[in-house]
Chain A
Amino acid sequence: MIKTEEFLINMGPQHPSTHGVLRLILKLEGEKVIKATPVIGYLHRSLEKMAENRTYHQYIPLTDRLDYVTSMAGNFAYVLAVEKLLDIQIPQRAEFIRVIMLEYNRIASHLLWYGTLALDLGATTPFIYAFREREKILDLFEATCGNRLTYNYYRLGGVSFDLPENFIEYSKKFLKLLKEKMPDYEDLLTSNIIFLGRTKDKGIISSEEALNYGLTGPNLRASGIKWDIRRGEPFSIYPQLDFEIPTGNKGDIWDRYYLRLEEIRQSIKIIEQCLEKLPSGKHKINLPLKVKPKKGEIYSRIESSRGEMGFYIISDGSLKPYRVKIRAPSFSNLSIISKLLEGEKVADIVAILGSLDIILPEIDR
């Protein structure tokens, strides 16, 4: 055997496939990774500190900046937590709109993930295909709240605007189109022999490991644990809706891939039911600008597209929260990376990293 020297390589923070500004310090032996040390914090804006200087209303736009691919989830989780603190009920229509938006955002996020995973593996076409449909969802958001990336749509007590006029027709048309396009996505990757070779039995996370590292969302479900906050600790109107929780069994990259595609289908189902049942009425109750929750603490969480998005808010009875802790799913999901990468090949780094579906702003906060 030729003895090769150990080789230190810096992957990121500016690297095309670290999905943001993650930096991995890799110790390589030839093509094999001996040790991978993630370095994070390049996007740290101290969002938790900023919360202490803002009123409850003022903080909503900042929650968009957590997970900018699913910013509806950041909004939702925060608004839900504050509403629990305030102990208010919001109109049914607002609840439905919130859920529709969250699920649309979940689809958009999973589509983006699908595209970037394919891109990491060297296939460019799935990326464009996924973005083609994601674009339509973004158009829908733009029509609803005027923004395409950071929506700032949810308000304490409802949502900022009612749905646009032809929202339901457009949605139905789009969902039909998406259902037609799903087989295309599958054709490109699901049973492609190269894709299977790259993803089957790679980056396996056992269910014990997933629990130990506190993984949530699709990464946890792919390891075989049937847990979804939408079912396990239902919030909003999820108990009224009929949908399945898909699970994987091995916890390899392919499982995580297939599970997310399945989740897109479930989200389509949820949106369709919501559109059916959508009640009329007000989309928002008016709260004073200076809301003062009574002294107390709350930890409230929702199922974002990446897992458990939670807000731990401590109120001291004043205008501003005393402390806000953001429990971001990607933070725990990423912490497993150095264990996963040990002993893998360089080419698998991007596949494994991509399959975890991390998003850096929410890790760095």
Chain B
Amino acid sequence: MNLLEILKLLKENFPQEKFIEDSNNSEAVYVEENNLYSLVKFIKENQALCFDYLIFITAIDYKDYFELVYYFYSYSKNHRLALKVKLPLSNLQIKSISNLYATADWNEREIYDLFGIKFLNHPDLRRILMPEDWEGYPLRKNYTYQNLIIKPD
């Protein structure tokens, strides 16, 4: 299935959700952060979609808001989908999907570690790459560190 068909199916099941398509990425749609968990659950369990593989989760710092990207793939149907969630700076938290996909466990820990986004209901939310007593979140755009050298263009 291509993105249009997937979107059609999703819209039928989630009428209240808007599903704004991303102009930069032909595989991605924006969804509301509150609906994300139920959406992921739906696309995993739905027979027609059957997204059995979570490729990765990542975050992007757009300075005035954060964006979470969930990339899914289906082995049996051979299609991709990226779900994007915008998180305002005031509320950097979202429900964890680690009980749906075990991959999400470490991915979410990494995002927590490097971006400082909290995942609710995560079983073991600790820093994963940085030392436990590290201050700050290195992948944020405003992160500074005394030894960090910013190259001139």
Contact = CB atoms under 8 A, between A and B. Distances in A.
Contacts of A297: 22, 24-25, 28
Given A295-B24, A299-B82, A308-B55, A332 B75 contact: no
Given A227-B75, A335-B105, A49 B138 contact: yes
Contacts of B24: 295-297, 314
A312 B129 contact: no
Interface string B116-153: 00000000000111110000001100010000001101
Interface string A225-250: 10100001100000000000000000
A213 B138 contact: no
Interface string B82-117: 100000000000000000011101100000001000
A310 B55 contact: yes
Contacts of A308: 55
Contacts of B127: 41
A4 B78 CA distance: 51
Nearest to A318: B153
Contacts of B61: 323
Interface in B33-91: 52-56, 58, 60-61, 69, 71, 75, 78, 80, 82
A346 interface: no
What does DSSP make chain B's interface, helix, strand, loop or mixed? loop
Interface residues of A, number: 39
Contact of B54 (A49, A214, A301, A312): A214
Contact of B103 (A40, A214, A299): A214
B58 A325 contact: yes
Contacts of A312: 56, 58, 69, 71
Interface in A286-339: 295-299, 301, 308, 310, 312, 314, 319, 322-323, 325, 327, 331-332, 335-336, 339
Contacts of A339: 102
Contacts of B21: none
B127 to A, nearest CB: 8
B32 interface: no
B71 A299 contact: yes
B53 to A, nearest CB: 6
A223 B113 CA distance: 31
B106 A332 contact: yes
A59 to B, nearest CB: 12
A331 B109 CA distance: 12
Interface in A202-236: 209, 211-214, 225, 227, 232-233
A251 to B, nearest CB: 15
A214 B71 contact: no
A225 B75 contact: yes
Interface in A278-292: none
A335 B131 contact: no
A41 B55 contact: no
B66 to A, nearest CB: 11
A212 B101 contact: yes
B129 A212 contact: no
A46 B151 CA distance: 16
A213 B153 contact: no
B139 A48 contact: yes
A365 interface: yes
Given A40-B128, A53-B151, A365-B129, A296 B103 contact: no
B146 to A, nearest CB: 15
A54 interface: yes
B129 A327 contact: no
Interface string A25-63: 000000000000000110010101100011000000000
A297 B21 CA distance: 13
B129 A335 contact: no
Given A48-B139, A232-B78, A299-B71, A314 B53 contact: no
Contacts of B78: 232-233
Contacts of B138: 46, 49
A246 B22 CA distance: 38
Given A212-B103, A214-B54, A310-B55, A364 B129 contact: yes
Interface of A: 40-41, 44, 46, 48-49, 53-54, 209, 211-214, 225, 227, 232-233, 295-299, 301, 308, 310, 312, 314, 319, 322-323, 325, 327, 331-332, 335-336, 339, 364-365
14 contacts: A40-B128, A41-B130, A41-B131, A53-B150, A214-B102, A297-B22, A301-B55, A310-B55, A314-B60, A322-B60, A327-B55, A327-B56, A335-B105, A335-B106
